[in-house]
Amino acid sequence: MSRTEAPPLPEPLRVPVADSHTHLDMQDATVEEALARAAAVNVTTVVQVGCDVAGSRWAAETAAAHPAVHASVALHPNEAPRIVHGDPDGTARRGAREPGGKAALDEALAEIDALAALDHVRGVGETGLDFFRTGPEGIAAQEESFRAHIEIAKRHGKALVIHDRDAHADVLRVLADAGAPERTVFHCYSGDAEMARICARAGYFMSFAGNVTFKNAQPLRDALAVAPVELVLVETDAPFLTPAPYRGRPNAPYLIPVTLRAMAEVKGLEEDVLAAAIYDNTARAFDF
């Protein structure tokens, strides 16, 4: 089987569910195709997440055009250092960039603030800290951006969507120090069971992605096992983190049932019960 070939549609869920975090703009299908495939397996709602100003504008426009799409807008944690310090090499997806300094970051944050005021924008994120891809020189810019997003989310009464990679203690520190919004979501939850208990005490939602199905992901399954069902969400983070047995192939919202069924097994719940709970949780988290 080709690594680039899309996995088949899984058996549909009997109860509608929502994909709490996806990137339709990075997937091969059109928005209409992606939503139709998702609906065919009873994934009826998706949260489209922006990672920079352009992507956040696209998310807002897409949500305005499609009732099944809700938008979340932000500068990704790795975007903030690129804005401030520049990125002379760039990547395949992101071109080279000249340093813009604090003024450029402030300008970008002002655009995110304006987008966050829109009714069809339901979240501010993904924001947070990422110590995997950004070195020590970029941490200050990341934290400044993170704190600004927290204030934007609180100002507009929107959910805060957290990207936390290799930065658990610092993310929790900033949230405690700045004061987390009423609704905070740890996207692609990556902590252990003890962190899940900390998040639960704080009332943070924990969204699990396809990597919870990976063989080496027992710590994630342990975290899911102790996470209160009323704080659990499911996501694809598509086109990334495709669940087993399709790991390495393109991910899309229609694969949510694969991850949800694995989660139901970990939680010891009927899939219909978990799907219903997750839909209600996602609607509560993103106020739709």
CB 224 within 8 A of CB 208: yes
Residue that is written with structure tokens 């983190």 in the block: 241
Q: Is residue 126 annotated as involved in ligand binding?
A: yes
Q: What is residue 8's three-state secondary structure?
A: coil
Instruction: Quote the domain boundaries for residue 79.
Output: 17-286
pLDDT digits (tens, 9 = 90+) for 99-150: 788 999 999 999 999 999 999 999 999 999 999 888 888 899 999 999 999 9
CB-based burial label for 137 (10 Å; 0-12, 13-18, 19+): exposed
Binned at pLDDT 50, 70 and 90, residue 86 comes out as confident
DSSP 215: T
DSSP 209: -
Q: Is residue 156 annotated as involved in ligand binding?
A: no
Rounded average pLDDT over 71-86: 95
**What is the 3-state composition of the chain as percent helix, strand, coil, each rounded to the nearest 5?**
50, 15, 35
**pLDDT given at position 1:** 52
Residue 63 has pLDDT above 90, yes or no: yes
The CA distance from 284 to 288, in Å, is 7
Rounded average pLDDT over 194-216: 98
Residue 91 has pLDDT above 80, yes or no: no
**pLDDT given at position 97:** 76
**pLDDT given at position 87:** 79
Structural domain total, the chain = 1
Which residue type occupies 133?
A: R
- Residue 280 inside a domain? The answer is yes
- Residue 144 inside a domain? The answer is yes
Q: Is residue 222 annotated as involved in ligand binding?
A: no
**Is the preceding peptide bond at 257 cis, omega within 30 degrees of 0?**
no
- Residue 2 inside a domain? The answer is no
**pLDDT given at position 2:** 61
Q: Is residue 23 annotated as involved in ligand binding?
A: yes
- Residue 171 inside a domain? The answer is yes
Rounded average pLDDT over 39-59: 98
- Residue 6 inside a domain? The answer is no
- Residue 9 inside a domain? The answer is no
- Residue 11 inside a domain? The answer is no
Torsion of CA 72, 78, 80, 81, to 10 degrees: 180
Strand segments, DSSP code E, in 35-92 are: 43-49, 69-73
Q: Residue 185 is part of a domain; what is its CATH number?
A: 3.20.20.140
Binned at pLDDT 50, 70 and 90, residue 92 comes out as very low
- Residue 5 inside a domain? The answer is no
